[in-house]
Amino acid sequence: MARASWRGRIEAARDARVQASRSRVRRTVSHRDGARCELDGRTLLNFCGNDYLGLGQHFGVVTALQDAAAREGAGGLASHLVCGHHALHTQLEQALADWLEAPRALLFGSGFLANLAVVQALLDDDGLCVQDRLNHASLIDAARLTGCRLRRYPHADAEGALRQLRAEPQAMAMLVTDSVFSMDGDVAPLRELALVARVQQALFYVDEAHGVGVTGPDGRGSVSEAGLTSAQVPLRLVTLGKALGGYGAAVVGDADLIAHLEETARPYLYTTALPPAQAAAALASVALARREAWRREKLVQLVARFRTRAAIHGLDLLPSDTPIQPVMCGESARAVAMAQALEQAGYWVAPIRAPTVPEGRARLRVTLSALHGPSDVDSLVDALAQARDRTTPSGFNDSATVSA
């Protein structure tokens, strides 16, 4: 009997994606200028990035990166525990810990690596990881790759989390949630979940990728907004690549847990350190995020404006007070068609489809930034309404011009 063909398998998978309007094609940006991107020779107003505070091209951030690169070079050279840990890394870890009122912080190359590191270093085959059903893929994959038992509770359901933990009272357990959910834009019930974790003696880990810099007092995130401390939330993920406009991530929290990660987490031990120049850029971003509260205030105003105008047009929104504003489309083909209509009108908005979201729950994921102006928001909502009215899902075939 002949062995199955890899080529046949991937061709069949590709054909299935095309039939289901799930094809994804990488797009190439030739130039960025604030909220605008040059794409295929056209300039589009970008409403699908995560530069919430508009710091990605800030003069002070770019200057910090360039100065550090001129002095220290472009790369990280080695892992942190060999010779890759630089004084700039230490300064950034201290700055993050101070900002977020946590004992310690530990840098990672990305949020995906950081989430894998936390779960892998703290749980084994006998452990239990209880997660919100809508958690980011990196958290789900972290539990699966670790080999622990993964149990998922209904979205934002603290009682569901309690039931899952009660079912295995003897297991070493972690309770894990996003703070701001990346595809819905809503916020987890963190106070209720913290109580569940305390009662069930589970370690509570919160992924603040879309929270820190945007929500909470001084931008400290949703954990701080909920009035919780590092004693109640021993570990939090902070990304450097969203509100802070750079690259990389950190885990902040309990000093003993951070020390354990530093010595045992494979995604920390066996990868090259973040380039010192990136750490310098992040240091500048942290200072700006703490000092310039007007950026968060502007976001609040833009979110309110978007939702008010969308309601006038009858657009189907999810309940979200964050810069992530999903516009529901239903079928994947309709989401793709609307995204293409928006692009023709000069707006870049990503269509989000299964398997990223459930079948029949496709949407346009609009993200707002302090770089946008009120007129940008108004014109986008008008274009969204026109795209909805002009597109139908019937007979539409996915196109290679849409990436997400």
| pLDDT score recorded for residue 398 | 42
Region 221-232 average pLDDT: 97
Neighbour tally for 171: CB within 10 Å: 18
Q: CATH 3.40.640.10 residue ranges in the chain? A: 59-291
| SS3 assignment, position 325 | strand
Digit-coded pLDDT (tens) for 67-105: 999 999 999 999 999 999 999 999 999 999 999 999 999
- Residue 238: band (very low, low, confident or very high) from pLDDT cuts 50, 70, 90: very high
- Residue 240: band (very low, low, confident or very high) from pLDDT cuts 50, 70, 90: very high
136 assigned to a ligand binding site: yes
203's enclosing H/E stretch is strand 203-207
Report the chain's mean pLDDT, rounded to a whole number. Answer: 95
24 assigned to a ligand binding site: yes
User: Where do the H-state alpha helices sit in 231-314?
Assistant: 255-264, 266-269, 276-291, 294-313
43 assigned to a ligand binding site: no
Q: Residue 165 phi/psi, 5° resolution?
A: -70, -40
Region 19-35 average pLDDT: 89
Question: What pTM does this model have?
Answer: 0.94
Cα distance between residue 329 and residue 46, in whole Å:
19
Give the closest residue to 136 by CA, choosing from 188, 198, 202. Answer: 188
Residue 24 has pLDDT above 70, yes or no: yes
Q: CATH 3.90.1150.10 residue ranges in the chain? A: 24-53+293-390
Regarding the domain delimited by 24-53+293-390, which CATH topology (the fold level of the hierarchy) does it fall under? Aspartate Aminotransferase, domain 1 (3.90.1150)
111 assigned to a ligand binding site: yes
| pLDDT score recorded for residue 167 | 96
**Which residue did the predictor score with more confidence, 128 or 23?**
128
Cα distance between residue 157 and residue 181, in whole Å:
14
Residue 397 has pLDDT above 60, yes or no: no
112 assigned to a ligand binding site: yes
Query: What's the CATH code, domain 59-291?
Result: 3.40.640.10
Digit-coded pLDDT (tens) for 296-317: 999 999 999 999 999 999 999 9
Digit-coded pLDDT (tens) for 149-192: 999 999 999 999 999 999 999 999 999 999 999 999 999 999 99
Region 272-298 average pLDDT: 98
210 assigned to a ligand binding site: yes
Digit-coded pLDDT (tens) for 145-158: 999 999 999 999 99
